[in-house]
Structure 1
Amino acid sequence: MEPASRTLAHLSDIHFGKIADERVVGALVEEVNAAAVDLVVVSGDLTQRARRHEFRAARAMLDAFEPPVVVVPGNHDVRAWWHHPVDRLWRPSKRFRKYIADDTTPAFAIDGLAAFGLNSAHGWTIKGGRIRSRHVAEMEAFFAEQPPETFRVLTLHHHLLHLDALGDHDVSRNARAALDAAQRANVDLVLCGHLHRSHVQLVELPVEAGGRTGLVIASAGTATSSRGRGSNKGINFYNRVEIEGAAFTVAERQFDPASGGFEEARRTTFERSLS
């Protein structure tokens, strides 16, 4: 069966509390709602300090999107050690669950598109992230239920492997198990953030592991905050993913302060293959 054509928007590192430009949130919502997007994926760090007013602002933004939304927490969305040590250890996602989503490992499926979110932000970690084995098993089981032609998206805040192009950076604990499971599950695309730099890369995987031998990782820049890093300092990005038959394109879209809107910065197309 020919895969369905689908479009999704990938946002990350919103960081309410450190918004770069008062226009950028509205411009982002307006563009996504006008683009016939089937799903919005948010890969964490909706807030700067997990404060109530930051979560309320994030909730208002999410409610403004017309498409359905899949969102996972980032390390900035859990309570700070120095303010709430008990909550950080035992109720780290208390406010995220109250204001954003009770389910921190969300799943979504429509004809031609399936997405699963892993929670890599936990109270026992500082910023590097940790993935629970039971969530990896749930992810693999979810994708096993999908038709073979379905485009499969995995999202989490932290990274599953080191990408040399991004320099020295954190990799989530238990990432190897999650990456192996994603390969077995024939995941097409991993959406993450955390580093505040926009980067898209095809990663080659070992043949003996089974499943796909190539996996695309899209690490989003900060969509709305003033915390861009390196070559992305002072720049806001989000990704638009266009799935068409046996190919898909990741378009990195950049905010232009002069026009008050987003424009395409880079566009990379990949072929889907099970071999």
Structure 2
Amino acid sequence: MKIAHLSDIHFGRIAWPTIVEDLVAQVNAERVGLVAVSGDLTQRARREQFEAARAMLDAFAAPVLVVPGNHDVVAWWHRPLRRIFDPLYRYRRWITDDLSPTFVNDEVAVLGINSAYGLTIKGGRIDAATRARIGSFFRSVPAGVFRVLVVHHHLTKIHALGRHDIARHARKTLEEALEAGVDLILCGHLHISHIEPIEIVPGSRRLVIASAGTATSDRGRKGHRDTNFYNLITVLPDAFVIEERRYLPEERRFLTESTARFERQVQPERVPLS
């Protein structure tokens, strides 16, 4: 099965006139089984930006699983009370009111979680109820399926970027994901394409974290400032492959920039880390 991982669309800051159309066409041509979008569909959570995002999501042939990002939270200066009491009201109206979306078939189980709140800084947070949801969901899915967690904010540092925020309670979230048998975490937020295997505890089961660069905006970071990326994940019986695909505007297509292959690991029984 193939999964297209997109992030940081940022309608309102689209980089190239045809990039959204080209992205949709290429993802549909890949015949993916799922499109996972890890937040920041909009630049400023404006109505017209959400309408454009809704149109893009509807254009995908495959099912779509999407979580919000901090840019999908209404701005303080625009709706201060909404920011406090209902920060995702526009996201809920145009995208979905499900902030814990799921997708399950015979091959994969995918859970999206929310890390974007009105009263937190842009690094985001993952509260106790959301962390508990990780364990309860993955305990309910069939044994042996490939397990994917989707979240907007980063749970680990990317050392090449220097200092940057990670989500509050990131360590607890990673521990919960490890205990739940998660194989792959998909995220965005930092606008850089980065794939890294990690061990939460030395000698423990490995997790892979795949960050997608901004798929369509002009807000790339560091060496990716003028480039756009999405990830294509292929889940095989004994391994999974992540392709980082970069947009070539002169050719109107995304080409594979790099490929990483990881062997699938045995999913252990849920055993507390301490």
Same fold, TM exceeding 0.5?
yes
2:148 to 142, 148, 153: 153
C-alpha RMSD of the superposition: 1.2
Q: Distance in 2 between matches of 1:65 and 1:177?
A: 34
1:229 matched residue in structure 2: 221
Q: What amino acid does structure 2 have at the position aligned with 1:271? A: E
TM-score for the superposition, normalised by structure 1: 0.95
Structure 1 stretch 104-113 or stretch 69-78: which is displaced more?
104-113
Give secondary structure in 2 for the equivalent of 1:203: strand
Q: Distance in 2 between matches of 1:181 and 1:22?
A: 41
- Regions of 4+ moved over 3 Å: none
Alignment of 1:177-192 (within 5 A): 177-192=172-187
Q: Deviations over 1:127-166 (max 9, x none)?
A: 0101121111112111011122100000110011222133
Matched, 1:88 2:80: no
8 Å contact kept, 2:235–2:241: yes
Alignment of 1:225-264 (within 5 A): 225-264=217-256
Aligned-pair identity (%): 53
Structure 1 stretch 156-165 or stretch 20-29: which is displaced more?
156-165
Matched, 1:68 2:63: yes
Structure 1 stretch 219-228 or stretch 146-155: which is displaced more?
146-155
Structure 1 stretch 68-77 or stretch 122-131: which is displaced more?
122-131
Matched, 1:58 2:53: yes
Q: Deviations over 1:204-255 (max 9, x none)?
A: 22158xxx62110001100000000101011000000001111001000000
1:37 matched residue in structure 2: 32
1:118 matched residue in structure 2: 113
Q: What amino acid does structure 1 have at the position aligned with 2:173? A: A
Shift of 1:172: 0.4
Q: Deviations over 1:57-102 (max 9, x none)?
A: 0000000001000000000000111221111111000000000011
8 Å contact kept, 2:74–2:88: yes
Q: Distance in 1 between matches of 2:254 and 2:240?
A: 21
Q: Distance in 1 between matches of 2:153 and 2:5?
A: 14
Matched, 1:102 2:97: yes
Q: Distance in 2 between matches of 1:166 and 1:115?
A: 28
Q: What amino acid does structure 2 have at the position aligned with 1:272? A: R
Matched, 1:217 2:212: no
Q: Deviations over 1:158-203 (max 9, x none)?
A: 0112221332221101111111110001101000000000000111
2:5 to 6, 10, 21: 10
Q: What amino acid does structure 2 have at the position aligned with 1:257? A: P
Long gaps (5+) in structure 2? 269-274
8 Å contact kept, 2:174–2:200: no
1:48 matched residue in structure 2: 43
Q: Distance in 1 between matches of 2:40 and 2:162?
A: 21
Matched, 1:197 2:192: yes
